Structures are given as structure tokens and as C-alpha cells.
Chain A
Amino acid sequence: MIRGHEAMISSQLLISGVIFGLSIGSIYFLLAIGLSLCFGLMRIISLDQLLYYSLGAYLTYTVTLMTGSMWIGVLAGMAFSGVASLAVERFIFRRIYARDPTFSMITSFGILIGGVGIIKYFWGVVPRPVEVPTLIQVGIFGTEIPVYRLIVVAIACVVYIAIWFFLHRTIVGKAIRAAIEDVEHVEGLGINVSRLFTITFVIAGALSGLAGGLHAPLIMVDPSMGLETLAFVFMVVIIGGLGSIKGTLISALVVGQVVSLGSIIYAPMAQMAPFVIMLLVLLIKPTGLYGSAVISR
């Protein structure tokens, strides 16, 4: 496909494509980890994570306009998403934990659609741009790469390590991992499971908000951005397997690269290729790469 005299340009294109894919994959990872954790612990499919993603992006937009600093905007978006998810968890999800996972999917889809309506009410339907905080470019193998994308990747790495430490080294995290295995036992040990649920949900919501805030400068912020990202996040979660953080990381990286490199080869393929990969994975393993075959509850 690549001819000899174009090799120089192509290698540059390739490197920037890989970096682009890494940054997209990082954002998908931040989003998918919330969905995956919520499913693992509470056995709910929380589509409203996409709402916190949009809210995070919009808050980033507004606060960036007000303060001039995009990083304060991202923090504000993250905080607001956390608060919003806390409210949703308290008033809605509390009532439906005991039900079937698909039940929560319908409810959370309702929250997502309603949230899109709220966003339209406050911010209107016009897409909004968010300025990139730093326009510095660095050279990697002779290719100019925007430093912002590298920062996004670094933040995702930090989040992965932090989540790993939280789950493996703190007592609350250990309780969460135990509850993923067997929630009744953990409850029997006298641990407040409903507080664990709240903590997990708020962490998931805040991470989705962070993903939205970080994604905002790379795209236009518009009300249906959550719905547009939905399919990709689903693919990431399904390829990786629901409830597995390691699987989510690997599949987020794969989907990011496929989207980015696919669009270099043939633009419409960027959307289709992850879907084909997902179908292939499901053909071989119906629960995704790292998903468990049985639900213990």
C-alpha cells in the first residue's frame, strides 16, 4: 500500500497516528473503566457515564471561558461530574441495584437522554470549541507531536496506576475487590456495602468527567457527544470483558490504534473496524477477552 518514495512522509504519519491513537485510547480507557467497575461491583450497566463525560466537557468549556485556564476547567468538570453521579446514585440507582443488569441499562439510558435534554437547555445545541491549553510541539523521531496529546496519555497512565494502588493497597479498595467476588460475604463481615457502591460510582463518574474534560479540546463540545462516543466505549468494554480493568486497558489501546490508524488508511473505516474486531472477539469468546464466563450473583 505504501510506495517507496512516500515512506518518509508515511513514517511521520504513522508516528503521529500512533500517538493520536494512544490519546484517543486513553480517553476511551478513562470512560470505559467506570462502566467496567460499575458492572463488576454493582452488576449495573451504567450508560449515564456518558452523561458525566458530556457534563465534564461542558463544565470545562464554561470554566475555561471564565478563568482562562483549561486545567482548572478540567478539575471543575471532574468535580461536577462526581457530584452529579453522587446525586444520581443516591436518588435512582439505590432503588435498582437488586434488579437485572438490563433493567439498569434502560434506566441509565433514560438518565443519559434526559441529561442531553438538560445540557441542551443550559448550553444550547451549538457546538462549542475549547482551546488547547498548550500549543507546544515536541519532536519524536523527527515528527512534530502536540504535547497536549502526550499529557492526555500521561494522565491516563497516572489514573491506571492510581486505580491499581487504590484497589490493591487501600482497605476500601480491597473491600471493593472482595465485593466484586462475593458481595454477601463482604456484607457479612460488617462492611457497609452500600457505601462501597457509592464510592465506586462517584469514582467512575469523576473519571468519566475527566475523560470529557480532556477530550474537549480535541473535538467540538456538543450535546450529543456522549451518544456519539457511546458505541466506542461499548466496544472497548465488550472487547475487554465487563468487569476487568486489565482487559479494559488493553482493548482501549487496541481500539484507539484501530480508530486512528484505520482513519489514515481509509477514513470511514475508523468507525467500522472496531466493530468488526468486536464481532470477531465475540465469535471466539462471547464474554470478551478478560470477562468472566459466569455471573456469581
Chain B
Amino acid sequence: MAAAETDKTNQTGLRAFAEEASRRIDLAREPYDDAKLRKPPLRRFLSEFNYMLEPIKRARAKPDIRPAASPKRVMLIPGFGAHPWRMRYMAQQLERAGHRVKRWGMGYNFGPSPEVFDKLERRLEKVFERKGEQLHLVGWSLGGIYARELAKRHPDKVAKVVTLGSPFSGDPRNNNLCAQPADRGRCPCQATGRDGRAVEPGRRDRPCQLRARPTRRARPRGGAALLAYGVLLREGFDRGDRCRTRRRAARARRRMSEFFDEMRMPEGEVREAYADYDKWFWQQDASWLRKKAKEAEGVFRKTGITFNVYGEDAAEERLIPFDMVPRIIAAREWRSLEKGIEQRVRALNAFMHDIYHKQEILRAGIMPERLIRDNDAFLPEMVGFNPPGGIYTHIVGTDLVRTGPDEFFVLEDNARTPSGVSYMLENRETMMAMFPELFTRVGVRPVQDYPRRLARSLAACAPERCEGRPKLGVLTPGIYNSAFYEHAFLADQMGAELVEGSDLRVVDGKIAMRTTRGWRAVDVLYRRVDDEFLDPLTFNPDSMLGAAGIMDVYRSGGITIANAPGTGIADDKAIYSYMPEIVEFYTGEKPKLKNVETWRCSDEDSLKYVLDNLAELVVKEVHGSGGYGMLIGPAASKKELREFRAKLETNPQGYIAQPTLSLSTVPILTRQGLAPRHVDLRPYVLVSPDKIDLVPGGLTRVALKQGSLVVNSSQGGGTKDTWVLDD
């Protein structure tokens, strides 16, 4: 093990080693006749290395091949981990003799699995049916075992089987190679430079598979691969699966290598934050992991963690797919994020206060007045009003993306009503229930107390006229809202009442809810209803979702509304483009977190640039959210580009453009194994008069489609548990 690793991982590694070894001890305990076991002559053993000379020999040698008297149809089946081209030379020679050679039709042989075998059977049937002629099967190594099995199942279609170096039983001892040195008591893997790669190509740090048998006397002589291979056969398909998994992952890695992968470096080495997880992962059984993934889905369905998709049948509830590979953030990375987010949120609050009071930022000429004046999210009702505790944005869910080791960008600030925090909590809950041992191995900072911290933070912003302990309420639009589950979840966890607009009315200058014992005052309302629907008397008169008169109560200090009405202005994408200036203006510091470069299409030069480079840019509506109404240039069709160009020309002020970011990737577990997918990150920040509280974690959204950059759950994104590591 590498010296850099901690003692803890050493121990767990050893434990895993011991487990592995004892699991396989049966293998070594089978009785057999010791006397028959002899080592091969040294000469033979060394002659194995002749294969290195093959290319030279082949170039010069002209094997004397005579035409066959009765040409046959031959199918060549490659060995484990090999491709048919490895048998091409043989195929050429066979063809020279007049035989017809067929490939096995599946490329690399990644080990046995029911699917592979099915395909092979079908292939055999097809070739047989085409000419009605029995086949001669030539199998190399594992291919030979396939060939035998095929002959057994289809004796009518196979004329003959030739196997090259195939083991003739699963017992590794039949290979004459597993002899152990009595004095050293080490396993053959170590003795042969850890040549256990037939089991897991590309892995060197995996604990050894076999325990030494001290009674053996013969010395190991290479070929441990074959030995491990025997193990592979005994263990059935699973190992092979894993190998395939790993190779596919490697290929996918190559494809995605232009992006920053958070788990692996471009050379394939695992980054430090993922080291413990990675080790754990490869000790798990692939099919068991898949079973767990299924289970997790069942749990989510059972607990009803669902959301509704806008525009679909109201009764339809969907699951947000959960991926069980966590997104891991190192302690150091988190610390710098934390500082950046804190600074940004502080600036946001100051900005909100300013634009609803003196508007100094406009006077300083930092941003044009029009951006505030013409903004629907700007509420004149809030002008000159001080919200309780001076807090506007009680809960902020900053959307971050990553493009490199220390390259985090803020994509959106979400100062209105950021959602998704219940997934952060349930994902953790699910991970802990599924893989408890993982959490004993890896030090992950807890997020479970978020609801308590939220309740505390909200209570700290109680309004002036509040007697006793502030009574909390969560205002939901109702059970058909897409995020209803979250509303209920948070109310439940905070011990707050989950209220709907119809439960509320103004009683004695306070907002009160209708209870079984009459009207009871609510002091702090965590509302999950948009500004527009909050008060039919002030805003949209048709709204049934809000409470009539709540704005008057609010302005007279009878209730705290979180987040404050009018904070939506900070979510405006045109305002976003000024965030670096905003941060600097209010904090006097350089912004610690970067903004994504943004072209405001209202600006003539920018518009020209955007139109010229439309195919490379992401264009967003200034007021849009949820991934709707945006254009991803590189992925758009010509028609879409044309349409967007027209939109931009007619209403340039409605749009901004950003470069297409190379979002970082984190692997997800697919049927084929680990595969990198693009992710973003939304940590949740709680703001109260005395502190800015950041829960170590957040919601990682992941685009499940390969290459896709859209992570929104309404458009096929999934989520991951997000781990912030302990120091």
C-alpha cells in the first residue's frame, strides 16, 4: 500500500484481505494427490518468453501450409481479455489452407456472462443455418471453454472442438502452477509481481486472492494469471462481469477525458478524496451493488419521495433517479467553497437591502437603473421596509459547477425558494441504510441536522410582534405541487405546521391558521409559494395559494416571511452578471467565487458576439429557471439555432449568454459499470442575524445521459449523495 494512505485504510485493507482469503480457503482445502504435482522443467518455463519474438518470427517464417483435402468451416473464439485480431495470424494460416474462418462476433472477450453466451449460441446457430454445415470450433484459453460448452449444448452443429491452453477444470491445481514456496508462505500473486490481473486488469492494490499453503514445496513459476483464471471460473460470471465493467469504464474515461473528472485523474489514478471509497467499491460484488441500487429505488418509492412533472398528468408521480456513487468533496475544497459562498450570500443580503432602500449601487453607477426598475421581481411594496432581523434571503441554494481542481463557478444564486434539500437528506439516509460499513470507513460530515438548523435560523428571525416561542409554518401550494414531498418533509422534520393558503387568515393583526381549537397565530412562515401568489390583495388577485392581507401583516411586523418577498430579483440572470461587482461593492473584497462569464444581450457588442458564436454558447432567458427555455449551442440543431437567433434579435434584453462550460464529471453506476457523467452542486445556506450557516454537503445533480449537460430533474437528471470529508 502506498505510504500516503492512513493507518485506517491499511487496517480495512488488511481486514478485507483476511475476508477474501478465508472465503477462498475452501478452494485450497480440497483434497488432491500431492505426489502427482510436479513443477514444469525450467527450460519449458523459460520458453514461454519466446512469444515476445513472435512478430519477428512471423515476419520471416513462411509456414509450410498445404491446401486441406476437405476444407472446413472454423470459428475462432479468443481468450479472456483478447480480441479476435489476436487470432488473426492463425486465421490467415487457416484460410491459406482453404478453410473458411468465422469470427466469434463479439470483439473483446470480457469474460463469461449469460448474455455473452446467449449471443455466442445465436451466432453459432446463424452460421450453422447459413450453410447447414457443422462448425469446427477453435477456442483459445477461455474461448476453449466456451467452445466445449457450445459443443455440449449443440452437438448437432459442432463437428469438432480444438482448445488451446484452456484449463480442463475449474481447479487451479490442475494447472500445475499453483505450487507454493514452503519457506516464504507468500501467495503466488506476490511472488510473480502480483500478476493477478486476469481477475482484475489494471488493478494492483487489490488484496491478494489466495492464501499461501506452507506445505507446498515447489516454487511458483509464472502463470499465476492462469491460476487466478481458475478462480475466475469457479466464481462464475461475476468476476468476468467486473472485468468488463472496468474496461468499459476505461473506454468511457477516454471518451470523457477532456472533462475534469472528480474521481480519477486523466491517467486513471484515483484522486485522494475518493481513495477510500474506491477501495471499498472494488471490494463489492457488482451484482450485489446493482441489487442495492434497485433496492434504493424501492425505498424511494415506498417512502413516496416523488415529484410531479409540470405539464404531465397531475396524478403522475415520478422518482428522481438516485445514483449510489457519492460525490465526494475534500475538506480543503469545501473550506474554500464555504468562504466563497458566505461572502456571496452576505453580499446578496446587502444588495437586497440596498435596492429596497437607498439604491446606492445604482447611484454609484455600477449597474443600470433599468435593471431594477423594469424588473417584475422588484416589489415596490418592499421599498423602505426592513424585514425582521434584516434578513432577506433566509435560505439560499447556490448552484455551483466545477471545471477543474480549484475551478468552481456560481451558475445561479437561487435566492427565492431553492428546493431539493429533502433529497440531500434522503439521499444520505438511503446511503447510510444501504452501506453502513462505508460510513465507518470514510469520515463524512453529517448533514442530518439541517432541519434543526433551519428551524433555529428561522426562529432567530421572529417578527417584532411575536409572543413566546415563535410558531413556524411551512406554506405549501398543496399536494399536487411538484415539491410537495419536500414541503411535508421539512415541516415534519422541523416540527412546523404544514399550511395551505386556505388555512390562513388575518386575525387580530396576525396571520392565523385554522386549527381544531380555533385560530392560532403563525410567527414565521417558510413559504414555498412564489411572490406573485402570496397575497391576492397585493399581488395576483386570483391566487388561492396565499393569504389575503399577509403583506399588511408583514409590513406591520406581525409575521416573518422567508424568503422575503422581492428577493427574486437576485435570481435574475441579468443581475447575476453583475454579481462580481455586487460582491466587491458591498464587502469591499474581491469575490472568492467566480461567476461564469456572461454576455448581456442587451448590450450591442455582446449581442453581436453572441449571434456570431451562437453555436458555442449557452443562451438563457433572463427570468427563466428550471432549465426551461434555454439553448445549448453545441447540442442544438440548425433549426433551433435559427429560432433562437430570431428570438435574440427581437428581444435581446430577455437573454444572456454564457460559454458552454466543461462541467466536471463524477462516475455513476450503470449496467456496464462506472461511467462518468456531468454534475453540478447546490449547497444550502441558512442566513440569520447572528450567522451564516452552511450545511457541509448539498444536492449533487447528475445528468444521467452520457454527454448531457442538463442536470435538472425535470429533464432527466438524477441525484447523488454529496459527501464533504472530515478533516
Partners in one complex: no
Interface residues of A (CB under 8 A from B): none
